[in-house]
Structures are given as structure tokens and as C-alpha cells.
Structure 1
Amino acid sequence: MDVKSAFLYGKIKEEVYVCQLPGFEDPDFPDRVYKMSSMGELTFFLGLQVQQKKDGIFISQDKYVGEILKKFRFTEVKTASTPMETQKPLLKDEDGEEVDVHMYRSMIGSLMYLTSLRPNIMFAVCACARYKVNPKVSYIYVVKRIFKHLKGQLKLGLWYPKDSPFDLVAYTDSDYAGASLDRKSTTGEGEYVAASSCCGQVLWI
């Protein structure tokens, strides 16, 4: 069975013979082991679109983005240049009008699955995820802006070149003391937390 993997650039040329799964046996030949056919090139895996080219691999979630835009009715909206307004930080809104908690959680859950390939929306999504217990109208406004940003950025993904030099540079916002919600890290602990989180993302990539 020739198998192409998203993590290999060549083919595995060995032949593999396996027994049939329960319920798929040939009643006339219960002990027969069949040769499987080639599975072909990997193009779709767990919601990830994989394009294998001679010079590298491109992984994206364009189809998934289209599906969630359609699910939450954001296919005909104006786009937003950024996932979050830079001049209006997300603040606690204890007295604000409440929204449907199930809808809010569903939207956040759909966005969380995108953060591994869309690091540009990670901060905004995680900030909104902090209010899943008691969401307000002001929070859903930010979530909707993330969807509007995705509407204008459909064709994004991660490119893994094969032969060209690939120097990975990571940036992290370690100024946790500047957070308007809790202003933690007066002792510098937050910087270590931020660095640890950044390293975890680098290792995953």
C-alpha cells in the first residue's frame, strides 16, 4: 500500500497486507487476507486541507472557515481588517445585557479550532473565551468582529518549505501587567507564563 503522509515528502513503497475488519470478511474465504489498493495523496485530514507540492506543504482550513461563516450567517457581511478593535479593549461588563450562552459557546468553540493555523486570531478568541459562563452583548460584538475578519481572510494557512531555509521567529506579548482586566504580573511572573506559552506554540509548529 503506497501511503503519502503530510509529514513525509516521499512514498512508502512497501506492500502491506491486512486482515478484513469484523463484518467485512468474505464468508466463502474467512481466512483470506486481501491486498489493499493505494490510498493516494493526503489532501484532507481532521478538517485540515493539505496541499503537497514539490517545494513544500501548505496546510489551511479554508473549507472549515467557509462552513462556520455559513453556519453563523456571516457570508454576506462587511469584512473587518483586524480581529479586534485596537482602541477598545475588552472589559468586564457585569451589568450588560445577556446573550444566548449556547450560541456564544458554539461560536467560541468553532473559532478555537482555528487558532492552531490562524495565530492572528488567538488573542481575540482567548479573550472572548474568558466570558463563556455569562456572555454579554458587548462580548458577542467582539466575537462577530472576529468572524468578519475571517470573511476577508479566507486564504490563509501555514507553509512548510522543503529545501529553502526556514527560520522560525516567534513573538509574544509578555506585558501582562498592562492587561486592563486584572493587571497581574507585578513581580514578573506573567512574563514567564507568556514565554512558556510561546515556546509551546513553537514546539507544536
Structure 2
Amino acid sequence: MRRLLDPGEQLIVRTRRQGRMLVLPAVVLILVSGAAAFAAGWLSRGRLEALAPWLPAETSSWSPLVPTALAVWILVGYCLRELLAWRSVSYVLTSRRVLRRERGLTRSDRGMPLSLVRDVHVRQGFMQGMLRSGTITLTSGQSAQLTLTDVPEVRRFSQFILDAIEELPLQERQPDPGDEITDFSDASLPWELRED
């Protein structure tokens, strides 16, 4: 984590997405494991011959491996993939910026300096409201936007962002568009107003 921080920058919060996306994979894990164990036990007792007498007798020795292999395929292909997808995304709030880090097969960092943030929009669906999670969208005065989905304790996280923006030194803050311009030199004007 220290490699992520610039000199003088402090970590405020580091979190992962809300864990609700792991509920269905956990249910699938329990059901598939139980069904595979039952099917393998049923097949190892030789019950398949009574049900399908036309199958060769050699199949009874390896037939319990079929539900086991099918269960492993489902658990790796779905449950493990969902766990890794949840674990790979994290949200970091420092004293100067907000980051969305993804560390899976591909690595990506997307961040926005707090000095550029103009709007902090929090959206919660019905289920997210019950779990106190939600989506935060940070927008700047330009077209830049950063979206953090399924943030746990979304209201508290957004308040941390607003508090961090308030604590920025004055020289790092961008002036609001409604502020008056007191320095009329060409370098201080926005690029649209500068003379060529």
C-alpha cells in the first residue's frame, strides 16, 4: 500500500465491494457439494446397474467420479470466478484522491484527484439500501467521471470523501465556476477566455 501513496499523502479508507455478490455463489457451493456427494455415494453402492442394466459392468468403478468432476467444474467455473471477481476490486480513499483498483488477470487503476471533484452522487437500489451499500459517482467540471459500485457503508464513505475535500489545502482546491476572477492576467484566465 505504501507504493500507492505519494509523499505526504495519507490513507483514509480502503474497502472492497459489498459482499452480497457472494451470496449466490455460496448457496451454489453448498448445494452442488451436497448433491455431488450424494450422487457419488449412490453410484459407488452399485445402484446404477439396477437403474441402467444395459451399461457395461466396468463403468461402476469410475461412475462416482462423474458427479465429482461435474461439481468441480461448476465450483471452479462459477463460485471461484465470482470470489476472484469480488476480491480483485478495491476502493481507496486517500487525503488527495479516490482510486478504483482492479487486481485480477488484468490490472487497472482508475482515480480522480479530490481537487477535481465537483459532484458526489450516491445512488442506492432497494436491496442496496437494506444492506447500506450503494453506488458513488464522482464527477469533475469536465467530462471526467469515476463510478464506484456496491460500496459498503456508502453514506459514510461519501461523507469521508466530502470531509477529505474540505481538508484539502486551499492551493490544491479548484475554484468553483461561480467564483469571481480577481486576477485579470492572461495566465490566470481559463483557456477559453485567453487572448490569442
Q: TM-score with structure 1 length normalisation?
A: 0.23
Question: Normalized per residue, which structure has more helix?
Answer: 2
How high is the TM-score relative to the length of structure 2?
0.24
- Higher-strand-fraction structure: 2
Mark the structure with the bigger radius of gyration: 2
